[in-house]
Amino acid sequence: MVLLGLMFPVLVFPQTAESKPLVFGVTQKIQSAHLGETRTINIYLPEDYNPKDTLTYSVIYIPDGGVEEDFFHLAGIVRYNTQPWIARFPRSIVVGIENTNRKRDFTHTVDNLDFVEKVGFKKSQFPAYGGSEKYIAFLEKELLPYIRAQYKGNAHATLIGESMAGLLATEILFKHRDLFDQYIIIAPSLWWGDRALLQQAPQWLKSGDGRTKVYVAACNKDEDQGMYDVAVALKETLQKNGTGFGIYFDYLPDEIHSTVIHQAVYNAFRAFYPKTIYQK
């Protein structure tokens, strides 16, 4: 385990004695039998985290959770909203998963890649694909149990996925809903497989226990009408076929695909937790 932090230079004044790292979290290496490789996991722990006490924490998982991806800025949203003067939701652990091949890991199996050319891609851009089943097994059987055992994570878990990771989050919602009780799905790449997940949704969606919450976000439709359309289709599919869970849809016309995730995640937590502890 290594500390995950930032180094800030200290201006040299006569009384300046030292500088030290600003520690933000820890980084772990996990050997995955299901993926057949070692994965790097970045973990933000609440500032009052104590491995010796009996308190357990909700856990927020980010498949695009590398330090050069979405880990730092999304963990910052969590820390801000859980500060004692805000307390929108309980202090939580954030787990970011470094990617090795996201196109492989986040896509479900398909018969061929003919459909990718319809949305402006080339088949050569997907040399490996269809590995989501192994990735979901990694989450279910290796990572989630590890976090619960080693870092006092509890059963309350949130999954954040944008673009290809939004495709993955949708597949988990449909096929393995009980893995998480909150899903934040942003600009999902549901064009994959000619919208196969949306077409097959009725066979997987069933009555829930009322605890699952789903936030779906779409960015500016003028940038990519197709991405907007599949986000709306996901919302409508959930409304038509799913019962027993809350659905929140958010259109963000001022955001494009590359900028939408930060604002969407902030909005999602406001949707899930409308009031801070001081507004209740």
pLDDT digits (tens, 9 = 90+) for 221-233: 999 999 999 999 9
Q: Which domain holds residue 155?
A: 21-29+38-101+143-272
* Strand partners for 97: 41
Residue 262: CATH number of its domain: 3.40.50.1820
Residues in the chain: 280
In-domain check, residue 4? no
In-domain check, residue 206? yes
Give the predicted TM-score (pTM) of the model: 0.93
In-domain check, residue 86? yes
* Distance separating alpha carbons of residues 26 and 53, to the nearest angstrom: 19
In-domain check, residue 242? yes
Rounded to the nearest angstrom, the gap between the alpha carbon of residue 178 and the centroid of all alpha carbons in its chain is 15
In-domain check, residue 15? no
The C-alpha R_g of the chain, in whole angstroms, comes to: 20
In-domain check, residue 199? yes
In-domain check, residue 233? yes
Which portions of the chain are predicted below pLDDT 70?
A: 1-16, 207-210, 243, 280
Provide the 10 A C-beta neighbour count for residue 46. Answer: 16
* Distance separating alpha carbons of residues 106 and 100, to the nearest angstrom: 11
What is the number of domains present in the chain? Answer: 1
* Distance separating alpha carbons of residues 224 and 215, to the nearest angstrom: 20
In-domain check, residue 252? yes
Return the pLDDT at 48: 87
* Strand partners for 42: 27, 96
